[in-house]
Chain A
């Protein structure tokens, strides 16, 4: 099963997806996801290494930087990966990591860090929050804290958004505390970051606009959600065909059939919108940000509604830990709030295009 985010991928894109899916299903199948959710560890370094060899982390960097896209549109290629990862609830902060690659690759100046993140020797993620940067030159201080961040504890590098600017911080920097949280999405580790006078030099300030990073992260997290939507929907659809009640497969009842038809419509709309957003954003088309805001807003709401509908089809079995559906439900509800809520993206969308054509 693949998500089929694109109706007609290129041969290169199809190969990337196939190889990636084979890797995920061998290295980190749902049985592993389940064990990690219950507290077990997995070989993160080995996972990262193979993922890097598949080219996941270089899609948004140039070939000269050790990267390169498959189709010429790195955002679209990354969205394809994100979608397949979302379907399989894969570990690691791929969305935030990709945002950091993009920032470092376009801003330049920190090639040693870029090499680490493209090469997969370290995780990085992009973090927003209410932080302040004071001082000048090489003697600046970062203070403040962040809301919940996914998989920050696994990261060696953190790119912190401060009033529209980006600041690169090493995880071992003095003054940085990573405090573990419990999370709704148990397939990930959650934490909050506290910066107490963390020292920042001129070279740590990365020249990349928050708007660019926000659009990119919005599209990729929406792609990840679309994957989770597809996987959850597929299981619910099969259940509707298999489960017998009142002398019939429950999927023969219009109450169930119509619910699933509407749900599949949202899934198709979500795929179309996310693919359009990734295509425009990655090709530098003028409507990239407009579509990115729309995609995140649409997927955040319809993704959760899809999971609710699937849950209803499962009935009581969906309320058990043993059934897989709650992992996608949790993922979709968490993704909906990460990298900008639906309402936040609608406000940004209105700000961008509210005066009309």
Chain B
């Protein structure tokens, strides 16, 4: 028996003794709009489960030992995941996903050893959930344009401003926050990352009511929040270096969220079939054509994802740029798909007596359809990335990359269209 086999057998024994089996209908995957129970109490129970995983040595399997991980190779993590796939794992929601998938890996790459010793073991134990305090209300896709600022005051930092689109911040313990620390240099060179406790004096977290009725996104307001050098992640004013690592994890996670290897064949997707049945449209030539259009696009997207996975494997250096195709296809085709569903649904998709009907699902898909066209870099950002980094087209002129950020804001508010 190899060490890996032995590990697998041990893991199986622990999983069977400690975790619940999944129900038949439980997909396990969590998307922003189908969180299910999103109460703080629910997540408290999930944190307890995460702690048991941590204490048994199954949290952070590939993470460094000195910070509470197991320091094992990827194949051990794969083995554990395979053994656990029919069991209920802790669900820390989207903020938990961001903590383990984006924030903590970025910290591991840039934060000081003392910082990592303080936080990473608690993150793995479910004691610290870190939300993403990335976008400002004034800066989303243009992340380097954030105006939330931290000002040095003796050995403290004073944080003021606001963050938005932080998923699950209402149950998080911290936010990983990008702030401007120097206005007199070009925008990319005056940024610093901080870890901000959500219960610090001067921090207010508000849940945002979204167009689909859920309230998973939050906005935070910072009023003279006191931080210290211990809270800094990476170098002061070197925040853009850290950001690039963060974006790698953020986009990497996005790229692998696609259907990956599955061809998507074997018939229309369930939501389309159910909607056709609901409107009794199987013999209606118009409905048949609309449904086939959806299926053609679904198959083309699945085929694109398989092609991208293969292209990325063959050329890892181009992988990040090619991932923009995945994001653009979702941003372009999710709204089209939703509109085609609405056309099939007709009036069954504009009013219903039961929100579980296919018509209501079509309406929800319409409201959520532009999610990936906007979140995490708009479709226009993907088009720029594809145009310049994949197709090699010449760059846009830049108005903000060389002059002090203070002047950028001033000039943009007095825009003449003339560039000196």
Spell out A's residues near B (CB within 8 Å).
Answer: 7-8, 237, 240-241, 248-249, 251-252, 254, 256-258, 260-262, 264-265, 268-273, 275-276, 280, 286-287, 290-291, 293-294, 297-298, 343, 346-347, 349-350, 353-357
Cβ contact within 8 Å between B296 and A265: no
In this assembly, does B179 line the interface, its C-beta being within 8 Å of a C-beta of chain A? no
Cβ contact within 8 Å between A271 and B307: yes
Cβ contact within 8 Å between B289 and A346: yes
Cβ contact within 8 Å between A265 and B292: no
User: Nearest chain B CB to A276's CB is how many angstroms away?
Assistant: 4
Cα distance A353–B329 in the bound complex, in angstroms: 24
Can you offer 20 A-B residue contacts whose CB atoms are under 8 A? A8-B310, A252-B393, A252-B394, A261-B328, A261-B382, A265-B386, A268-B307, A268-B325, A272-B305, A272-B307, A276-B299, A276-B306, A286-B266, A290-B299, A294-B295, A298-B299, A349-B295, A354-B282, A354-B291, A357-B268
Cβ contact within 8 Å between A357 and B267: yes
Interchain CB contact (< 8 A) of B383 among A241, A257, A347, A355: A257
- Set of chain A residues within 8 Å of B382, measured between Cβ atoms: 261
| Given known A353-B266, A357-B270, contact A272–B296 (CB-CB < 8 A) | no
Residue of A nearest to B282 (CB): A354
User: Nearest chain B CB to A96's CB is how many angstroms away?
Assistant: 24
In this assembly, does B388 line the interface, its C-beta being within 8 Å of a C-beta of chain A? yes
- Set of chain A residues within 8 Å of B383, measured between Cβ atoms: 254, 257-258, 261-262
Cβ contact within 8 Å between A276 and B292: no
Chain B contact residue count (CB 8 A cutoff):
51
- Set of chain A residues within 8 Å of B390, measured between Cβ atoms: 264
In this assembly, does B380 line the interface, its C-beta being within 8 Å of a C-beta of chain A? yes
Cα distance A262–B391 in the bound complex, in angstroms: 11
Residue of B nearest to A347 (CB): B288
| Given known A258-B387, A260-B387, A269-B303, contact A240–B332 (CB-CB < 8 A) | no
Cα distance A275–B392 in the bound complex, in angstroms: 25
Spell out B's residues near A (CB within 8 Å).
Answer: 263, 265-270, 272-273, 276, 282, 285, 288-289, 291-293, 295-297, 299-301, 303-308, 310-311, 314, 325, 328-329, 332, 380, 382-384, 386-388, 390-397
- Set of chain B residues within 8 Å of A297, measured between Cβ atoms: 292, 296
| Given known A254-B380, A275-B307, contact A7–B300 (CB-CB < 8 A) | no
- Set of chain A residues within 8 Å of B388, measured between Cβ atoms: 257
Cα distance A265–B308 in the bound complex, in angstroms: 11
Cβ contact within 8 Å between A356 and B300: no
User: Nearest chain A CB to B171's CB is how many angstroms away?
Assistant: 36
| Given known A291-B265, A357-B268, contact A273–B303 (CB-CB < 8 A) | yes
User: Nearest chain A CB to B27's CB is how many angstroms away?
Assistant: 15
Interchain CB contact (< 8 A) of A264 among B263, B307, B386: B386
Cα distance A62–B241 in the bound complex, in angstroms: 58
Cβ contact within 8 Å between A260 and B393: yes
Cα distance A270–B305 in the bound complex, in angstroms: 12
Cβ contact within 8 Å between A272 and B303: yes
Cβ contact within 8 Å between A241 and B307: no
Cα distance A343–B292 in the bound complex, in angstroms: 9
Cβ contact within 8 Å between B384 and A349: no
Cα distance A277–B301 in the bound complex, in angstroms: 13
Shortest 5 CB-CB distances between A and B: which pairs? A356-B273, A272-B303, A287-B265, A346-B292, A257-B387
Interchain CB contact (< 8 A) of B268 among A240, A270, A356: A356
- Set of chain A residues within 8 Å of B291, measured between Cβ atoms: 350, 354
Cβ contact within 8 Å between B266 and A287: yes
Cα distance A237–B394 in the bound complex, in angstroms: 11
Cβ contact within 8 Å between A268 and B387: no
Cβ contact within 8 Å between B265 and A272: no
